Amino acid sequence: MTITTGFDQNCKRCKRLADFLRDSKNKFPDYHCAPVAPFGPKNIKLLIVGLAPGLHGANATGRPFTGDFAGILLYETLHKFGYGNKTVSESLNDGLKLKDCRITNAVKCVPPQNKPTGEEIKICNEFLHNELAELKPGTVILALGGIAHASVLRAAGLKPKDGKFGHGNIHHLPNELILIDSYHCSRYNTQTRRLTEKMFHAVFEKIESLKS
């Protein structure tokens, strides 16, 4: 199930990103090459926030963390902790379903070199703000990486000084929402052992203890 409330599939507010999507579609006509919608049910206990779609991952498949290396550990872990019915996310039509969990990105369009600008992050934050506004009190938000963490704070009406990013750090947000940080499950972080499977599972164990 895909959530579209507060999401614009045809958004072109960021010219650089819109141009990159157009050029990418010309190079890869079978790719999604459009803003990537959040994935998961509406009634949730956990919202996972990543950075942005990968060029040959979510930008190709149309589903967050699907088709790229970062999704391997994420979806395996979601299955282990009862949030997913399958260990692998392959495509929009693979039968994967999430339970009590939704996945989104701080920036909904793929950026060149996977690096959105500060202005692009700010513009797209409206969508994340709308997503947070729909969450019920007690919902846990998992931020994968520093940019996702900062985007959640902004979307919650807070400033960077209101919560420092750190792996495993827990922050209490307005409306009784709870933010927990993790290093991003990127290829670089996992291959350099900055983030191990054990470390990632430990974050999810914390999430289980926090859920209301």
CATH code, 198? 3.40.470.10
Say if 4 falls within a structural domain. Answer: no
Say if 1 falls within a structural domain. Answer: no
Q: Tokens at residue 199, please?
A: 């470390």
* 74/71 Cα distance (integer angstroms): 5
Say if 9 falls within a structural domain. Answer: no
Say if 118 falls within a structural domain. Answer: yes
Residue-level pLDDT at 5: 53
Say if 7 falls within a structural domain. Answer: no
> Which residues are within 8 A (CB) of 21 and not within 5 positions of it... i.e. 6 or more apart?
33, 34, 59, 109, 110
Residue-level pLDDT at 85: 97
Fill in the DSSP letter of residue 84. B
Residue-level pLDDT at 212: 58
Say if 5 falls within a structural domain. Answer: no
Number of domains in the chain: 1
Q: What is the pTM of this model?
A: 0.95
Residue-level pLDDT at 3: 43
Q: Which domain holds residue 84?
A: 15-210
HSE of 96, CA atoms in CB hemisphere, 13 A = 27
- Are 130 and 5 in contact, with CB atoms under 8 Å apart? yes
Say if 6 falls within a structural domain. Answer: no
Residue-level pLDDT at 6: 62
Tens place of pLDDT for every residue, the chain, 212 residues?
344 456 898 999 999 999 999 999 999 999 999 999 999 998 999 999 999 999 999 999 999 999 999 999 999 999 999 999 999 999 999 999 999 999 999 999 999 999 999 999 999 999 999 999 999 999 999 999 999 999 999 999 999 999 999 999 999 999 999 999 999 999 999 999 999 999 999 999 999 998 75
